[in-house]
Structures are given as structure tokens and as C-alpha cells.
Amino acid sequence: MSVAQVTAVLILDHDGGRIAAKYYLGPENGGPAWAEQGADGAKGQLKFEKQIMKKVCKLPSISDNMDVIVVDDYHVLISGNQEVYCMILAHKTENELAIMEVANAAWECMGLICGGTARISKKTVLMELTKVMLLLDELCENGMPCEIDAASLHARIEMADHHQDEPGAASAPSPTKESGQSSFQAAINSAKSSVLGSLLSRAR
């Protein structure tokens, strides 16, 4: 596996609404200023995501075949369909072929989570949001790819999801683990609330 650093992975709906996202690199560890974590950083992230969508809207179509666009100094590798986009962000100096392997693994693994790439939709992604969030966690660590084989990645996700569901796993967690699980659950709840709020606002 070639070495390359991933800045972020985004799962967006057709209108650019964020379903899930993970920024691995920010100004604190060599990443861009707009990828800063926290409430203030989220504004920069969302602004950059809007820049991405402006270019995506100009593409003829998005299919299972990957598309690549450049936004500022970053390559954005896009896999998707009419409802969901999976985007891998990496600096333009990174090995594009290596980043492409990460993008392929992410999309194929989403297909395994949703029951096949043809079944990836906003609805199925929301139904499997816990596993999708685990995918973002398992795919990279500090931007470095951990696994680029979709089947192996999916197995890791299933194992992590099963462990979370074990009765003993929640009975007496360590303070660090308990904090991590709380943060993870909060991220899922926040993502669900954001998407549901967006849907409700459009319905009015």
C-alpha cells in the first residue's frame, strides 16, 4: 500500500448536505486552517464543502466511476450516485493513486454496509449511520490509511459494531473509553439531527 495522507472524508447528500464527515488533519497537525476542529472550525469546513459542491454541480453526472476535482490546493475524489456522494480530500501533493485506493475502499465498503453499491441511498446510509461513522473511524488514523481492502474494512466495522452491542462492553467501561463512546454517540445524534432538520425545513 502506497503511503499518502487523507485530509478528510465527506459523505454528502445530492444537495451538499452533510450526512457524515471526518476531518483527520487540521492546522494543529499540518492540515489546512479551514479544517480546524470545534465550533469555529466547523464554519470553515462547511464553507469549503460548499466550494466543493459548486464544482460538483458543474459535472455532467456522478456514477460509480470516480470523478476528481481540484478545489484550492486539494484534490477531491468523488464516488457516488444520484443521492449520496463519498468524497476523499487530500492535498494535491499527495500520491493520487494511493488516495484513489482509499476512495475505492470507502465506496465499496459503503456498499457492503448498505447491501450493495446499487442500494446506497440517503435512506440506507441514515439507517446504517452508526456503521458509516465507524467506517470513517476505521478508514484512517491521523490521515494515514489503515485499511484499503473493502472486505477487511467491513469486517473491522462489523467487529467494532458488535463489540459496542455486547452487554459486558457497556457495563464498566474505562473513563477514556466511556468518553470516546459518548463522543461517538453524540456525533451520530448530531448528524441525525442535522439531516432531519434539513429535511423538515425543505418540507415547509
pLDDT over 90 percentage in the chain: 59
21-65 tens-digit pLDDT: 999 998 888 888 888 877 666 889 999 999 999 999 888 766 557
Check pLDDT > 90 for residue 165. Answer: no
pLDDT at 204: 47
62-114 tens-digit pLDDT: 655 789 999 999 999 999 998 999 999 999 999 999 999 999 999 999 999 99
pLDDT at 168: 55
Question: What is the value of pTM for the model shown?
Answer: 0.78
Check pLDDT > 50 for residue 174. Answer: no
pLDDT at 49: 95
In three-state secondary structure terms, 162 is helix
Strands (E), the chain: 8-13, 18-23, 67-71, 74-80, 84-91, 140-141, 144-145
Which residues 6+ apart lie within 8 Å of 77 measured at CB?
66, 67, 68, 87, 88, 90, 99, 100, 103
Angle among Cα 124, 111, 135 to the nearest 5 degrees reads: 85
